[in-house]
Structures are given as C-alpha cells and as structure tokens.
Structure 1
Amino acid sequence: MNTVVLAPAALPAVLPAAAWPALRSADVVYAAGDLPEVTRVALDAKAAPAPEELLRATGAVVLVAADRTDPGAAALLDAGAALVSVPVPAVVEAVAVMDKLRSPGGCPWDAAQTHDSLRQYLVEETYELLEAIEDGDRAALREELGDVLLQVLFHARVAAEDGQDPFDIEDVAGELVAKLVGRHPHVFGGDEVIDTAEHQQVRWEELKQTEKRRESIVDGVALGQPAVALAGKLGQRTGRAGLPSDLFPAGDTDAEQLFRLAASARRAGVDPEGALRAVAKRFAADVRTAEASARSAGVTPQDPPTWRHHWPH
C-alpha cells in the first residue's frame, strides 16, 4: 500500500513514529518538492517524479511531503494512499507564521518594524493583558496572552536578522530554560530545601545577585516602569536587604510622600500599582454613574456643583 508521510517544514527534523514501519518496508521512498532539503538528505529519499508517474509506480511507495497539498501527495491520497502525519504545535506554527511575515514576499508593515518601533505595542499589549487579569475575563485573558506572545515572537524574529549579534526564539527559550533550572536548585537537583513561597522569593534574588554579579541591591530594577511600581520595587528590594524604612526620602513634597506610601505598601505585601489602579478604576466608574444619574435628572453632568447630589454613596 502506498503511504504519504507529512513532515511539516516547521519541524524539519521530526517524523511521526507511525511513519517508520512504512519507511522500512517501502520499495522506494520519494521526497516531494516542498520537503526541506535537510529532511530529504536525512531520509536518503529520491526526488519525487510527476504525480502521474507516482501513480504508475509498482510496489510500496512512500512519499514524504511537507504538506498534503503537494501535487504528488494529493494524487496519491486521492488514489487511496494512507496518510501519516504529526500535529504541529500551535507555538511552532506561530513561529513559522512570524517568519513568513518578515520574509521576502511577506507583509511590508511587519518587515519594516524594528525593536524600537515595536516598543509601544509591547507596552499596550501588556497593559491590556493586565486589565484582562484584573477583570477576570477568561476570553480576553487568552487573547491578550496571545498578543503578548506575538510581541515576543516578533522581537525574536527581528533579533535573528541582526548582523552583529543575531539570536532567535530558540536562543530566547533556551536561556529561559537555563534560568528557571538554575534558580530552582531545590527542584532540579541538589540538597537545598525551600519550604515556602517567601523563602523561594528571597533565594531567587540571592541567586540572581550572584549570577549577574551585581554590585548594588538596586541593580536590575527597571527604572522605566511606572513610577508607583518603581517606588514599590525599590522599597521591596531594599527591604529584603535589611535597609530600614527611615532611609526613604524624608521630604514633604507630594512626590516624596507618594514614594514613601508606595515603598511601604510593597514592603507590607501590597502591590501599590495594582491597588492604586483599582481605586482609579473605581473612581472612573463612580464618575460614569454620577453622569448617568445627572442626565436622568435632566441636569448637565459637566456642571460641577450638581455632581455632589448624584455621586454614589
């Protein structure tokens, strides 16, 4: 019986296990024109003839193709050939789609983007994801996670084209794996014991400090993050190092007071950025409620003196 084996271009080194019995018993193994050269060479397969010749071939024929739409594969399948395929993980497909968008013949807009031009989208998508989490919206959460993943894939694809220091998504993922394993010695080997989440947080920072050879306890704090989050992070980082809170800025300016509030909140286990955003969102909702109440009473909501009578209590 003839067999068509699909070896997707996104996984050139992967063949389904079910394909091997057919390959071993085949009288001839052909490689379709869309098959990556690395796969054809590894299989020592012959270049596939025209579809009509494939159909006339005698004995057990195996055609290895990247896609079932290949003319030879389509002809054999229409004639009753068995199909053996391996599902391509969606993440792998996403990488392949991103690659096609950036390649010649792809999308002009995608091809023109740089790390710098993409920054605004990364920030926007991150905040949209944060809002989905805060709202408990599962559908939006799934969608926004995908949008953030797109930014990771996009930046990795742009990085792969750098002439001086190229790296790709495999390098990014590999570095992440090494980091996760290295900072969890209690999970991936060794005699170290971590009993609580708090202990793990402290140990993570210790390992990171040693790994990155940082000289200051505030090295590595992203100074570009929102100010309230930054103040909180600095408060947390210095608190873990044992610095007392009386070393916080002691002035009476609004900014200094805000810093002390945010830094102290983070030390107390409160996320000041999230807490302040929750209050701001509640205030925005109260404004909308007051406006609606004023309109229903026939009052112009833009008239400040009328608001007090319609404000939610």
Structure 2
Amino acid sequence: MTATVVLLPHPDAGVPPAAFPYLRAARAVYASGLGEDVLDLLGAKPAPAVLTGQDGPFVLFAATADDPLVRSLGDVRVIGQPAGVRLVEAAHVMDRLRSPGGCPWDAAQTHESLRQYLVEETYELLEAIEDGDRAAFREELGDVLLQVLFHARVAAEDAADPFDIDEVADALVTKLIGRHPHVFADADRIHTPEHQEVKWEELKQAEKRRESIVDGVALGQPAAALAGKLGQRSGRAGIPLDLFPSGSDAPTQLFVLAATARRAGIDPEDELRAVAKRFAADIRTAEAAARADGIDPTTLEAPGWRTYWPH
C-alpha cells in the first residue's frame, strides 16, 4: 500500500494542485497534527496512531515531514507545498505585529518613518551579495521582504486609498505576465537577454504611456547610479555623447564618467563602490601595520601613511 502524504506547513496555504488526483482516487483521507478546523476544511478524519492495515490508497495530511506518523510509513509519496507557502505566514505575522495587542513600535510606524530602514536594508543586502556571504544574503533578503510586508500593511490602514499585500502581489503578477508575452502568451520567442531587455522597455513604454525617455527614472537614487541610468536611457534613444553636459568642473566630469561607463556596460555605482571598498581595506591594512610597529595610526602624517600603505 502506498500512502500519499501532503504537507501543509500552514493551513491557510491550501492544498497543492499536485495532490488533487490523489485526493480524488483516495478511499480515505486522514490528517495528523492539524486542528479540527483544518480537518473540517479538508474533509478529513483524524489519523489513527498507526495507519498500517488501513484500506488504501489513502491520503494523509501532515503539518510537517517530521510528523511521527509520516516517518512510520514505509511506502510514501510526499507532496509538498509550492514555493511561497511561508510568505503567507510572514504576512500573518506582520498583521499580528501591527494589530491591537501587537507590538507598540510596529504599530507606530508610518511610510515616512520606515524609509530609512528600506534604504539601510537594501544596502546591507548589496553588501552581502558583494561579499558572497550566503547566510547574510538569506537574512538580508528577509529584511528587505519585511519592508515590503510592513509598507503594504501600513497602506492597508489608509482610509483614503487602501491596498494590501495581495494587491501588491497581484499587480506584480500582472506586470510579470504582461512583460513576458513570449512565455505566457503566443508572442514570438526571445532567445537572448539583450533582446528581452529591449522588449521589456518597449512594453513598459507602451504600458505606462510615458511622454519622455526619462520618465520613470528615480531621481532620488545615488548620484553615480542616476548618472548611469540617464546615460543608459539616452543611449537607447540615440542621444550622442557630444550633447552630454560639458565643463571641466568635477561634478560635470563625474556625471560624464558615470554616464559613459553605463553606456559601455559598466555599472558605475557598483564599480565605484568596489573601488571605495578596496580603498577602505587599504586604510585598515596600513593602520594595522602601523600598530604592529607600536605607532598610533591617528598620529600618522603623509610620509607615515606612504610608509605603511600596502602598495
């Protein structure tokens, strides 16, 4: 006898579509480790301590793969939930924190007060990616996700124009499907990332009905990234380099360098950050070398820095 085990990490997540054929064919449906409300929802009976000898085939719903009953079964076909199940739980946790009886700090936050954390968490995520730290990468992705959940929960309380996390997700799904007609519809296939980038911009332009090629460019982003984005957009439109700002002053030269770098396929923000991080590492190395000689780095002047500089 083969038991089909359907895992339900969260009762609200629903039954995965892959389990439907087994449910229809099952002679009996049991549930283990789940409450009575979930039993009613599933139309299942409480699972006996031992399923051996029961008339099969049957389906067992279990909260986790570690359920003792699941481990005791010999011939088991396990069907897990699709990706994203724990996102439902994350939304529930955020709702609980924000609701009466939850966390006073969370309840007091606004979109404006949360802005600093969105920026900080984004840069911490970038640092984890650059450092190749997988544990930090996973954690920082969660912190960025928290910002999305938090802002959506705050927005749900807006009396004038409310929206919630489901509407955020719905808008994203609609956008992704609409921008990939070669995947979700009968449009011509796209075989290269470069071709997809061009089509994405064409679809975005038509969808948003923008009047300018610079519409949609976030002017609040870091300066090097902004200059690079403008360089990229203007390059796609065929604006020649001789129309870039001209002048010998440092700000103008910085803009031209960043904008032309992006046109050449170099991300000026990333590359500038990489150079800055190398420079910071060199400072730390020089300071350590000075300390090893018994010298306080704060007393170093130009000749001393040159002596201990790692190059």
Task: Classify the TM-score, shorter chain.
Answer: 0.7 to 0.9
The 5 A counterparts of 1:60-79 are 62=45
Quote the residue 1:53 is aligned against.
Answer: none
Q: How many residues align?
A: 269
- Pairing partner for 2:180 from 169, 184, 205: 184
Structure 1 position 191, deviation (Å): 3.4
Deviation at 1:214, TM superposition (A): 0.2
Pairing 1:304–2:301 present:
yes
Residue 248 of structure 1 corresponds to: 244
Residues 90 and 8 (structure 1), Cα distance of their counterparts in 2 relative to 1, 3 Å cut: closer
SS in 2 for 1:99: helix
Give the structure 2 partner of residue 123 of structure 1. 119
Distance 1:144 1:129, change over 3 A: same
Query: Take 1:81 and 1:94, find their aligned partners in 2: how far apart are those partners?
Result: 34
Match of 1:103 in 2: 99
Please tell me whether the aligned partners of residues 98 and 157 of structure 1 are also in contact (alpha carbons under 8 angstroms): yes
Contact 1:129-1:144 within 8 A present in 2 as well: yes
Match of 1:173 in 2: 169
TM-score with structure 2 setting the length: 0.77
- Structure 1 residues 274 and 13, CA gap change in structure 2 (3 angstroms): closer
Q: Which has the larger radius of gyration?
A: 1
Query: Would the alpha carbon gap of residues 6 and 272 (structure 1) be closer, same or farther in structure 2, given more than 3 Å must change?
Result: closer
CA shift in 2, pair 1:272/1:12, >3 Å: closer
Residue 61 of structure 2 aligns with an amino acid whose one-letter code is V
Aligned to 1:56: none
1:217-259, Cα deviation, whole Å (9 max, x unpaired): 0000000000000000000011011111111110221110000
In the alignment, residue 139 of structure 2 is paired with which amino acid?
A: E
Aligned to 2:144: 148
Q: Deviations over 1:78-109 (max 9, x none)?
A: x8598733567211111111111111111111
Could you say which residue in structure 1 is the equivalent of 2:55? none
1:238 match: 234
CA contact (8 A) 1:132 1:141 kept: yes
CA distance in 2, matches of 1:163, 1:147: 27
CA distance in 1, matches of 2:211, 2:202: 12
Structure 1 match to 2:12 = 11
Runs of 4+ in 1 over 6 A off after TM superposition: 5-9, 22-25
Q: Which residue of 1 aligns with 2:110?
A: 114
Give the one of 59, 62, 86 matched to 1:85: 62
Normalised TM-score (structure 1) = 0.77
Report the alpha carbon displacement of residue 6 of structure 1 after superposing the two structures with TM. 11
Gaps (5+ residues) in structure 2?
A: 1-5, 52-59, 65-80
Give the C-alpha shift of residue 114 in structure 1.
1.2
Identity %, equivalent residues: 66
Are the aligned partners of 1:10 and 1:93 in contact in 2 as well (CA < 8 Å)? no
Structure 1 equivalent of residue 223 of structure 2: 227
Give the conservation status (yes or no) of the 8 Å contact 1:19–1:84.
Answer: no
The corresponding residue for 1:69 is none
